[in-house]
Structure 1
Amino acid sequence: MVKAGSSVIAGLAALGLFIGALAACSAGGTGARDEGPARTDPVGSTAPAATASPAPTASPSPSPTAVNAVRLVKADPKVSTEIKRDLQPCVANEYPVDVSYGNLTGGTATDVVVNVMTCGDAVGIGTYVYRDAGGKYQNVFQAEEPPVYAEIDRGDLVVTKQVYEKGDSVASPSGEEILTYRWSGDHFAQQSRTHNDYSHAVDGASPAPSDDG
C-alpha cells in the first residue's frame, strides 16, 4: 500500500509540473522568442528589406596635361630671338615662366597661356597662347612689348600692359592698359580696351599746411 501510494503521488507531481510548463508558455514567459523579435512580414513575402540609396557623387574634372612651357617657347619659330636668349633659369632649374590652362579657343583640348618674365623684378617680357591642333601646339597669339602679362578670365584672354612715363621706376608705372580678346573663328579679336592712371602720391601723405601768418 505504501508503494502504491508513492507511485500515485509521484504521478500527480509530474502532471503538475507539465501543466505548469504549459501555463508558462501560454502566458508569454521566456522561451524560444527571447532571442529576438518575431518577424512581422506577411506570410509568403520574399521582398528584401529596404535600404537607403547612396547619394550621387560628382566626378572630378580631369586635370589638364602639363606642358613644358620653356621647351614650347624656345621651339616656337614665332618667338623673338631676344626672348629665347633671355629665357634662362633664375635659380637651379627654375625658369621665370607662369603657365595657365583653360578653354579660350572653343576646342575640345585645353589651351595654354605662357607668360615669360625677368628674374630680377618679374616684369613680363612676352606672353603667348598655344592651341592644341591635332596633338601639336600652335601659337595663336603673342605680345612681346614689355611689360605685358596675360590671364584667362571666363573664357576671354585679358592682356595687361603697364604704362611708363619718363622718370617712372619699374615698381611704379604711371598706369595700365587692359585689353580683352575673344576667340573669333581662327583668331583672337579685341573686345574692349580700358586705361587706368595710377596715383603718384607717396604713401598717401597729405601736404603740410602752409604758414600764412
Structure 2
Amino acid sequence: MRGLTGAGPSARGSVQAVSTALVVLTALALFAAACATGGTGARDEGPAHADSVVGATVSPTPSPSDSYQRVNAVTLVKDDPKVSPAVKRDLKPCAADEYPVDVSYGSLTGSTVEDIVVNVLTCGDAVGVGAYVYRSEGGRYQNVFRAEESPVYAEIDRGDLTVTKQVYEKGDPVSSPSGENVITYTWTAGRFVEESAHHTDYGNAAGGVTSPVPEPTQAPDG
C-alpha cells in the first residue's frame, strides 16, 4: 500500500476501508483454519514400541474405561512364576532406570481389556531372550504364552500373534543370522494354537521357502 502514499483525503479513506476489510478477512480465514484442524491433539494408541523403556511417559493417558491399561512390564515379568530365573536375573537396567523391554498392547485373545506382549531383550545388541503374552483374567494379568528360545521376538499382526526366531549356522555372528522362522498363532478355545509357519533363508535369492501349514498345535507354555 506504500504506492498510495501522498493521495488526498478520499484516497486515504479508501485505503483505510480496504485495510479494514483485509484485517476482517484475514481473521475469518484464521478462524476457519483453526476449526478445520479439529480434535484435541490426542492420538490413538498403537503398539508401544516407543514404550520399550519402562517408565517412559505416554500422552495422553487413557481413561479407566478404555480397553487399554498400561502396566509396569518389568514388574509384570519379574513377578511371573512362568518366566525363567535366567531371564529375571538378567533383566537389569541398561542405563539409569532404562530397561531393555519392548511392550505392545492389542487385541489377541478377545478379552475386554487389551492383551500385552512383552519382549525382553539384551542391552548390548537388543537380542530377544524372552517373549510373553499376558491376558487380563479376573482383574489380573495371566501369562498365556511364553517363548524363551533366544533369539526370539513376538508381535501383534492383524489380531494374530507372530513369533520370529532367528536361525544361526555355525560361525554366524550375532548381527548376521542365516535365516529366520516365523510362526503365526491364533487364539482358539482358550489357548494359542499354531496356524502357520515359514522359514526364510537370507542367502536364498528366491526370498525364502514356505513350509506346509502344520496341524494346529498348542503354543509352548500357553
TM range (shorter): 0.5 to 0.7
- Unaligned regions of 5+ residues in structure 1, if any? 1-54, 202-213
Match of 1:156 in 2: 160
Query: AA paired with 1:149?
Result: Y
What is the 5 A alignment of 1:132-171? Answer: 132-171=136-175
Counterparts of 1:125 and 1:60, CA distance in 2 = 31
Query: AA paired with 1:173?
Result: P
Query: AA paired with 1:181?
Result: Y
- Counterpart of 1:79 in 2: which secondary structure? coil
What is the 5 A alignment of 1:20-35? Answer: none
Q: TM-score, normalised by structure 2?
A: 0.62
Match of 1:85 in 2: 89
Counterparts of 1:145 and 1:61, CA distance in 2 = 33
Q: TM-score, normalised by structure 1?
A: 0.65
Does residue 65 (structure 1) correspond to residue 69 (structure 2)? The answer is yes
Q: How many residues align?
A: 147
Counterparts of 1:60 and 1:126, CA distance in 2 = 30
Q: Which has the higher contact order (CA 8 A, sep 6+)?
A: 2
Whether the 8 Å contact between 2:128 and 2:153 is mirrored in structure 1 is yes
Query: AA paired with 1:124?
Result: G
Counterparts of 1:148 and 1:142, CA distance in 2 = 10
Query: AA paired with 1:116?
Result: V
Query: AA paired with 1:101?
Result: Y
Match of 1:182 in 2: 186
Counterparts of 1:84 and 1:101, CA distance in 2 = 22
Counterparts of 1:200 and 1:193, CA distance in 2 = 17
Counterparts of 1:143 and 1:91, CA distance in 2 = 26
Match of 2:118 in 1: 114
Cα RMSD (Å): 2.2
Report Cα offsets for 1:111-159 as digits up to 9, x if no partner. 0000000000000000000000011000000000000000000100000
Percent of counterpart pairs with the same letter?
66
Counterparts of 2:118 and 2:99, CA distance in 1 = 12
Once the 2 structures are TM-superposed, how far is the Cα of residue 65 of structure 1 from its aligned partner?
1.9
Does residue 197 (structure 1) correspond to residue 197 (structure 2)? The answer is no
Q: 1:99 aligns with which of 96, 103, 107?
A: 103
- Counterpart of 2:95 in 1: which secondary structure? coil
Whether the 8 Å contact between 1:174 and 1:200 is mirrored in structure 2 is no
Larger Rg computed on CA atoms: 1
Query: AA paired with 2:98?
Result: E
